[in-house]
Structure 1
Amino acid sequence: MKRKAMFAAAGVLFASHAFAQSSVTLSGLIDGGVSYISNQGGKSVVKFDDGIEVPNLLKIDGKEDLGGGLKAIFDLTNQFELGTGSFMPGQSLFGRNAYVGLDDQRWGRLTLGNQYDFMVDSLFFGFDDAAFYAQGVYDFRNGPFAGLALPNNPTGAFDWDRMAGERVQNSVKYLSPRFGGFSVGAMYGFGNVAGSIGAGNAQSIGINYLNGPFGANAAYTLTKTDVGGVQDSVRNWGVGAHYHIGRMVTTALFTTVRNELNGAAVWQAEIGAAYSFDSPWLVSGVYSYMKGNHVVDNNHAHQLTAELQYNFSKRTNVYVAAVYQRASAGANAQINDVMVASSSPSQFIGRIGLQTRF
């Protein structure tokens, strides 16, 4: 009994000390709606779809002030399906983000765990990807490129440039402070394979520049995966920029992927813009062109995305959106997140949805 009382007292003391010195925040994103898909395996479909405009996230993050400009930080983020309530990706509790680290005003930020690489951090969260403003996951890159055959990929080419929030497990990531508008970052993901440091590892770097309304970023990521006893390396790199002009923001992005195992490669270029009226309305649009090499039959695709959004508040909005992809003759169009390709070179999605954040 005395031992139990002692442990209980120690627990209360620990908890009071922790909460007295730190802050913890609960936040999240929720998106749900109805989508019409013109051609999914030869048939049209109207379906409930969620996590499109933004992913459905439940996030717990916190920090502790250690003094002298140094903070201990952590982030635990769960992604879930609104329609079923199930965890994703991989049915894991904190599969979206799970890291702990230190953040210092002078020396930068060091984090360890399961976290985004710099294709995401520099290019997407650097606001160079128009998908940030227009239709989220539908506007991320996919197309008639199943021949890419990317490892552990549901379509072979789903989100092939990693911008939808791909993570690197067992990773250590560093981001420098900003000097003269510039910052740099580097990441290493451990493969944890006995007898081989290089097997299954990942590397990523980012270079960022921000000066008032203008920003530009570059990123590179290399991931290695065991495929049937053979080491497959996938390389991504990209550059992007954005510029704010009054109520409008314009974006430009160029990204690439190469699967070293089969030699398949694809590149894409896109431009986008979003305009916020002097009212609750926001309109955005994107045009992108994707082109593959001979391994993916030299297929190419054009994609157009448009969205009109009405903001009830800073947290909640409704939107209507349209996405159209036109692939090369003889190829099958496939907009991102549609897991079954069109039976023809074209595919269209119309969507109405509601999203909120807390």
Structure 2
Amino acid sequence: MTLGRQYDSVADYVAPLTATGSWGGTLFAHTFHNDNINETFRVDNSVKYTSASYAGFQTGGLYGLSSQAGAFADNRAWSIGKKYQNGPLSVAAAFMNIDNASANTTGAVSGSPYLSVRQRVAGAGANYAIGAATLGVVYTHTDLVDRPTVPVSTLRFDNFEVNAKFDISAAWYVGAMYTYTKESIAWSTGHNNPHRNEFGLMADYRLSKRTDLYAQTVYDKASGQDVFGDVGNLAESSSQNQTVARVGIRTSF
């Protein structure tokens, strides 16, 4: 049992099965960080329970208090998740619900990228290790209902991801990801429902136990009316295509 500002169950259980939540980092996040698998925000005033592992099964849940006198449901959050791990197989599923995150700044969520009366995220995935390779598949669904002061009243995302990581040696690994995202939008003016395809590649070389060099690139192709390429929610493209490349050195403490 832990108390404080903490990550929800989707981030705890489903994110480690994705590219962004394991080996890839921010550029590999799903469109607009819609499902929080990149740990975009944490839950304040929260109580979290994580069970021990029983025959490979582990369960966890979180509740974030609203801290709003007379309005208990305003800006509260809760989530629940479960995983199973046995040898090369890892499977997990989780659900998160946030009520009216924009109602106050002292409740459960102060950093959510979306304003809506209700935000719900459900996800599930699996990883399987075959020798030096680890293969993964993940699905998440995000539902944003009654968005105030914007022309989009309802917004839904369905994210389908496949990923793979291969350890060339103890020092080298390479990874690849493909994500298809379908967006369902209820506009105040007529628009179609867009979708996008995103591809990512990464190579990493470990110089020491603490320091590594990496290179990565992600390409995003959006389709639909009035939608644009957007990799990692960094800066929207002026067209429906966007490619971002990054090289860096990283030190762990």
Q: Under a length normalisation based on structure 1, what TM-score does the superposition of the two structures give?
A: 0.62
User: Cα offset for 1:294?
Assistant: 3.5
User: 1:203-214 counterparts in 2 under 5 A?
Assistant: 203-214=78-89
Q: Which amino acid aligns with 1:130?
A: A
Displacement after TM superposition at 1:248 (Å)? 1.1
Q: Please say if 1:321 is aligned against 2:216.
A: yes
Q: Do structure 1's residue 222 and structure 2's residue 97 form an aligned pair?
A: yes
- Asked if 1 retains the 8 angstrom alpha-carbon contact of 2:13 and 2:83, the reply is yes
Higher relative contact order, structure no. (Cα contacts within 8 Å, ≥ 6 residues apart): 1
The SS at the match of 1:319 is: strand
Give, in angstroms, the shift of residue 114 of structure 1.
Answer: 0.4
- 1:177 aligns with 52
- The answer to whether the Cα contact below 8 Å between 1:222 and 1:233 also exists between their aligned partners in 2 is yes
Identity %: 31
**Does residue 120 of the first structure (1) align with residue 8 of the second (2)?**
no
Q: Which residue is equivalent to 1:249?
A: 134
Task: Give the Å deviation of 1:228.
Answer: 6.9
- Describe the shift of the 1:132–1:228 C-alpha distance in structure 2 as closer, same or farther (beyond 3 A): closer
For 1:196, give the aligned amino acid: A
Kept in 1, the 8 Å contact 2:49–2:62? The answer is yes
C-alpha distance 208-228 of structure 1, shift in aligned 2 (>3 A): closer
What is the aligned partner in structure 1 of residue 164 from structure 2?
273
Over residues 270-319 of structure 1, what are the superposed CA-to-partner deviations in whole Å (9 max), with x where a residue is unaligned? Answer: 00011111352211000000001142731100000001111112221111
Deviations 1:115-138 (A, max 9, x none): 0000111112xx311124553111
Kindly report the root-mean-square deviation, in angstroms, between the aligned alpha carbons of the 2 structures. 1.8
Cα displacement (A) at 1:348? 0.3
| Alpha-carbon distance in 2 for matches of 1:226, 1:278 | 45
- 1:164 is aligned with what amino acid? N
Equivalent-residue separation in structure 2 for 1:313 and 1:210 (angstroms): 29
Quick one: which amino acid aligns to residue 163 of structure 1?
Answer: I
Matches within 5 A, 1:1-358: 110-124=1-15, 127-142=16-31, 158-165=32-39, 166-225=41-100, 227=102, 232-261=117-146, 262-278=153-169, 280-295=171-186, 297-330=192-225, 331-338=227-234, 340-358=235-253
For the Cα contact (< 8 Å) 1:133–1:284, is it kept in 2? Answer: no
Whether the 8 Å contact between 2:193 and 2:224 is mirrored in structure 1 is no
**Structure 2 residue identity aligned to 1:221:** M
- Deviation per residue, 1:77-127 (Å, 9 max, x gap): xxxxxxxxxxxxxxxxxxxxxxxxxxxxxxxxx011100000111112xx3
CA distance in 1, matches of 2:218, 2:174: 14
CA offsets, 1:319-341, max 9 Å, x none?
11111000004421111131x31
* Aligned-pair CA distance for 1:231: 7.0
- Give the residue type in structure 1 aligned to 2:55: G
Count of matched residue positions in the alignment of Structure 1 and Structure 2: 231
Q: Is contact 2:136-2:164 (8 Å) kept?
A: yes
> Is the radius of gyration larger for structure 1 or structure 2?
1
Q: Is the 8 A contact 2:120 2:142 kept in 1?
A: yes
- Unaligned residue ranges in structure 2 (runs of 5+): 105-114, 147-152
Question: Structure 1 pair 308/198, CA: closer, same or farther in 2 (3 Å)?
Answer: same
Q: Which has the larger share of helix?
A: 1
* Alpha carbons of structure 1 residues 162 and 195: separation in structure 2 relative to 1, 3 Å: same
**Residue aligned with 1:264, SS:** strand
Cα distance in 1, alignment partners of residues 75 and 21 from structure 2: 30
- Contact kept, 8 Å, 1:134 with 1:286, in 2: the verdict is no
1:223 to partner: Cα distance = 0.8
Distance 1:228 1:312, change over 3 A: closer
Q: Secondary structure at the match of 1:130?
A: coil
Q: Which amino acid aligns with 2:232?
A: N
Segments of 5+ residues of structure 1 without an aligned counterpart are 1-109, 143-157
